[in-house]
Amino acid sequence: MSLIAEHKTATTDAEILPVLAERWSPRAYTNDPIDETKLAAALEAARWSPSAGNSQPARFIVARRGSAAFDKVAESLMGFNKAWAPKASVLLVGLYTELRDGEGNLRPTPVYDLGQAMSHLSVQAHHDGLHVHQMTGFVADDLAAAFELPADVKPFVVAAIGTVGSPDDLDEVLAERERAPRTRLPLTELVLVNE
């Protein structure tokens, strides 16, 4: 299978980096074990993402299929995520450490910083031929309990990572989504002021 899915490649109004146009979130994965070099590169890209004051609040649980950790993450998935995501080679949990200001109030930035880290991870992975599909459809409290996480370490997202597979391996509804083109709002709706 070609790495580039023509039907998933963004039709852009301005020229953007090919990796950004071609990145997409599949639900069909092959059975291959993860390529450890590519996984390490994805995590390294996440490590070098920016964060507020270089606070670096992003944390990760890396769970390879077949491990006890993988089963714990898979168990926490909700609804239809449970059907497709456990077929990926890796389930990676994106977590953030809570940070407080001088008055003890929670800082708002860690979840933003985790998002940036996940974005870097996804783009690096795609560039290297892996696919990433992020999910917030999981029970964070169950996952935190399963890994006995400290109270200030918050699971926020789970990402299925692996090699893209065939939509034929999915049920009809998911297969249809896999074959559908990606869509976005027009930029005119996103840019509120542009003087």
Ligand X SMILES: Cc1cc2nc3c(=O)[nH]c(=O)nc-3n(C[C@H](O)[C@H](O)[C@H](O)COP(=O)(O)O)c2cc1C
**Footprint of ligand X on this chain (CB under 6 A)?**
24-25, 81, 134-137, 157, 182
Name the one residue in this structure whose structure tokens are 């049920």: 171
Query: CB-wise, 6 or 101, nearer to ligand X?
Result: 6
C-alpha to C-alpha distances, 39 to 42, 48, 175, nearest whole angstrom: 5, 15, 26
C-alpha to C-alpha distances, 14 to 94, 168, 182, 189, nearest whole angstrom: 31, 33, 16, 16
> By Cβ distance, which residue is nearest to ligand X?
137
**Shortest Cβ 4–ligand X spacing (Å):** 14
Query: CB-wise, 157 or 161, nearer to ligand X?
Result: 157
**Shortest Cβ 174–ligand X spacing (Å):** 9
Query: CB-wise, 76 or 81, nearer to ligand X?
Result: 81
**Shortest Cβ 178–ligand X spacing (Å):** 10
Query: CB-wise, 76 or 89, nearer to ligand X?
Result: 76
Tell me the residue length of the chain. 195
**Shortest Cβ 46–ligand X spacing (Å):** 14
Pairwise CA distance, residues 172 & 140, whole Å:
29
Ranges assigned E (strand) in the chain: 58-64, 90-97, 131-135, 153-162
Asked if 28 and 164 count as a contact pair (C-beta separation under 8 A), the reply is: yes
